[in-house]
Chain A
Amino acid sequence: MMQSDVPQPQTEPGQAVAEEGLVILDGPDGVAVTMTPDAAELTGQSLIDAAVVARAQAPDLP
């Protein structure tokens, strides 16, 4: 069976840093985005909320 070449879910977290009053999220792979602190906080909370739901959908996945 051929291995799928489509992008796979990332198992490594992205790295966020503060720079000149903004938040930069760099990686994984093609992710490279700059956000205001407000947008970063809301995105972070949205990610955490989605992670809770995702765990409930597939409790056996890491």
Chain B
Amino acid sequence: MRLEAAISDVRLIEPRTKLVRAGEELTQSTLLIEGFMSRHIDDRKGLRQLVAVHVPGDFVDLHGYPLKTLDHDVATLTSATIGIVPHQALAAIEHDAPDLARKLWFATLLDAAIHRAWLFRLGRLDAVGRVAHFLCETNARLVVAGLSDGRRFALGITQNDLAEICGLTDVHINRVVRALREEGLCFFRSSLVEIPDLTRLAARAQFDPAYLYIDEEASDALVNRGSRQ
């Protein structure tokens, strides 16, 4: 059985569209085919903290299948193409396709590993380190998805999104983006990220991609192309 066979519908969703609200009962999950999505939690003042960013290929709310409700909201950041996977189809995979079920289990474990890295980022890194770490992580994930050559990728999010990811104000993000540019570590403009020296950026971010469990081929591409000057 292939995962594609479990998709009941493919939809094009506008940017900034909320797909799942915390607490609502779920009967389907979302496979992100194209675009970027987020998971977020708002504080009592309505200020948003992004707790996950999803790239094409991610099963955004797979955990909604066993949990039945989520503790956070899910929304698109950019326009996005999504595949709808009914929970009935996931139940069939669980019972009839153990190899595929194991891959889905791996995906949720990878999700948890990324959350741990986000905790480390917010708890231990300064502002430049936080942004650098997020960009290194996104670059690595997009290399795996075939959407980065290891040093350049499209990232259709705003600096305000970046602020909500890194727990910084927009003024602080402006300063950090400028600092990264002036240090020649990274250029982020017009939805395009360029990383002239991934090794230096990763060092600044204390970034080690081991938690992403990237296969050898993609890992080679990340190192070899990423370090190219």
What residues of chain A have their CB less than 8 Å away from a CB belonging to chain B?
17, 19-20, 22, 24, 26-32, 34
Does A29 contact B125, Cβ atoms closer than 8 Å? Answer: yes
Closest-CB distance, B207 to chain A (whole angstroms): 16
A31 B172 Cβ-Cβ under 8 A? no
Contact B171 A32 (CB under 8 A): no
| CB-based A-B contact count at 8 angstroms | 42
Interface centre among A17, A19, A31 (most CB of B within 10 A): A19
Name the prevailing secondary structure of the B interface residues: helix
Question: Which residues of the partner chain A approach B122 to less than 8 Å between Cβ atoms?
Answer: 30
Sampled A-B contacts (17; CB under 8 Å): A17-B175, A19-B171, A19-B174, A20-B171, A20-B174, A24-B127, A24-B175, A26-B126, A26-B128, A27-B127, A29-B123, A29-B124, A30-B124, A30-B126, A32-B130, A34-B169, A34-B171
Question: Are B175 and A27 in contact, with the CB atoms below 8 A?
Answer: no
Q: How far is the CB of A58 from chain B (nearest CB, A)?
A: 26
CA distance A31 to B128 in the complex (A): 11
B126 nearest CB across to chain A (Å): 4
Chain B interface bracket (under 10, 10 to 19, 20 to 34, 35 or more)? 10 to 19
B196 at interface (Cβ–Cβ under 8 A)? Answer: no
Contact indicator B171/A26 (Cβ below 8 Å): no
Q: Which residue of A lies closest to B120 (CB)?
A: A30
Question: Across the interface, do B171 and A22 meet the contact criterion of CB distance under 8 Å?
Answer: yes
What is the bound-complex CA distance between A22 and B168, given in angstroms? 13
Beta-carbon contact of A26 and B127 below 8 Å: yes
Task: Name the distance in Å between A29's Cβ and chain B's nearest Cβ.
Answer: 6
By beta carbon, the residue of chain A nearest B166 is A32
Q: How far is the CA of A22 from the CA of B166 in the complex (A)?
A: 18
Q: How far apart are B219's CB and chain A's nearest CB, in angstroms?
A: 28
Shortest B179–chain A CB gap in Å is 10
A28 nearest CB across to chain B (Å)? 8
> In the assembled complex, which residues on chain A have CB atoms less than 8 Å from the CB atom of B130?
32
Which 7 pairs from chain A and chain B are nearest by CB?
A34-B169, A32-B127, A27-B126, A30-B123, A20-B171, A26-B127, A34-B172
How far does the alpha carbon of A19 sit from the alpha carbon of B166 in the complex, in Å? 18
